[in-house]
Amino acid sequence: MLSNAKTIFKKLSDQLATAFDPEEAKSFAYLILEEVTGLSKTDILIEKPVALAEEINDEISTVLKRLLAHEPIQYILGKTIFYGLELSVNEHVLIPRQETEELVDWIIKAHHHTNNILDIGTGSGCIPIALAKSYPLSEVHAWDVSAGALEVAMKNAADNEVKIHFKQVDVLSEIPDQKFGLIVSNPPYILEHEKAEMRPNVLDHEPGTALFVPDQDPLLFYRTICQVSIDHLNPGGWLYFEINEKYGQEVASLMKDYQFTSIETRLDLNGKDRMVRGQKS
C-alpha cells in the first residue's frame, strides 16, 4: 500500500510521544526511519511516496517496542556517533556521552607532546580512538576489566582504522609494568544510592560495573588511578579524569595529595564540574 514519508513519520512520532517528550520522539522517529527504511528528513518534508514491505514494517514495530521498553536507541541501532566517529555499542559498554567528548576535546586542544597514551576503563574505546586520530605518532593503550567491552572496542578501532593496544586489566588489582606520558580515565563514579534518580534506559540496560561505586568510597577509582599514575606516568606527564559533578574539589584535593601540580577543574557545557587534570611533578 502506497503512503507518504510524512504520514509514516507522524504516526511513528505520535506513538513515541506516549513515552517521550515530543522533540525527543521526533528525533527518534527520524533516526528509525533513516536506519530502517533509508528515508531522509528531506524525503519526509517533501512527503515522498513510499510503500514499505511487510518485513520493514515489522522491523519498525520491533524497534518501537524496544524503545517503549526504555532500551536506549543506540543499543537498538547498534551504533552511535562520538567526536565525529561512528562507533558500535551494545550492552557490554556505556553509551559515550557529550561530557566525555568534552574531555577528549580538552586533551586534544592541549596539544600534548607524548609518545605513550593510556585510557583506563576504555569501554567502547571512544576515548583512545579519538585520541589516536589526533595523536597519530603516539602509541595508544587501553585497559578494561570487561572482555565484552574490549571486544567492542577492538571492533571500533578496526572500523575507524586506528591501532590501539588493548589489554584486559583490573585496575584495582595487578597493573602491567609500563610507562606513559598521558593517562586518561572516565571511571565508574555514580554512587549506589543515586540509582533511585536514574532513568530506566540507563539503569536497566547499561553495564553497572562501568557506572557505580560504593557509597562509602566514592573516590575508589580516582585514588587507585592516582596511585597507578604515580608509578606509571612519566615525570611531567598529565592525568585527566571525568568526574562526578559532586566531587570536583575532592578529586582535585586527592590529586594534590599525590603531588600533582597545575591541577585544574573544568565545567562541562551544562556548568557542572566534570573534568579534572593535573601534571606529575
What distance in Å separates the CA atoms of residue 237 and residue 235, rounded to the nearest whole number?
Answer: 5
pLDDT-derived band of residue 204, with 50, 70 and 90 as boundaries? low
State residue 263's pLDDT score: 98
Side chain identity, residue 124:
S
pLDDT higher than 80, residue 196: no
Grid coordinates belonging to 162: 586506528
pLDDT higher than 80, residue 205: no
For the chain, the straight-line distance linking the first and the last C-alpha, in angstroms and rounded, comes to 70
pLDDT higher than 80, residue 202: no
Domains of the chain: 3-69 (1.10.8.10), 96-280 (3.40.50.150)
Grid coordinates belonging to 130: 579519538
Strand partners, 260: 280
State residue 1's pLDDT score: 62
pLDDT higher than 80, residue 233: yes
Average pLDDT over residues 105-130: 96
Side chain identity, residue 210:
A
CA distances from 213 to 191, 193, 203, 241 (A): 5, 10, 14, 15
State residue 216's pLDDT score: 86
State residue 4's pLDDT score: 86
State residue 213's pLDDT score: 81
pLDDT higher than 80, residue 143: yes
pLDDT higher than 80, residue 199: no
- Indicate the SS3 state at residue 148: helix
Grid coordinates belonging to 266: 573544568
Q: Which of 153, 159, 114, 152 is nearest to 134 (CA)?
A: 114
Average pLDDT over residues 123-147: 96
Side chain identity, residue 261:
T
C-alpha Rg value of the chain to the nearest Å:
21
State residue 218's pLDDT score: 86
Q: How far is residue 111 CA from its own chain's centroid?
A: 22
pLDDT per residue as tens digits for the range 31-45 = 999 999 999 999 999
pLDDT per residue as tens digits for the range 18-71 = 999 999 999 999 999 999 999 999 999 999 998 888 999 999 999 999 999 889
pLDDT-derived band of residue 97, with 50, 70 and 90 as boundaries? very high
pLDDT higher than 80, residue 83: yes
Cβ atoms of 118 and 180 closer than 8 Å: yes
How many C-beta neighbours within 10 Å does residue 238 have? 23
- DSSP secondary structure code for residue 247 in this structure: G
Is the sign of the CA dihedral 146, 272, 219, 197 positive or negative? negative
Average pLDDT over residues 132-150: 96
Q: Which residue has the cell 527504511?
A: 37
What distance in Å separates the CA atoms of residue 257 and residue 226, rounded to the nearest whole number?
Answer: 9
Average the pLDDT over each of 78-87, 163-172, 192-201, 225-234 and give the range with the smallest value. 192-201
Q: Which residue has the cell 579524569?
A: 241
pLDDT higher than 70, residue 174: yes
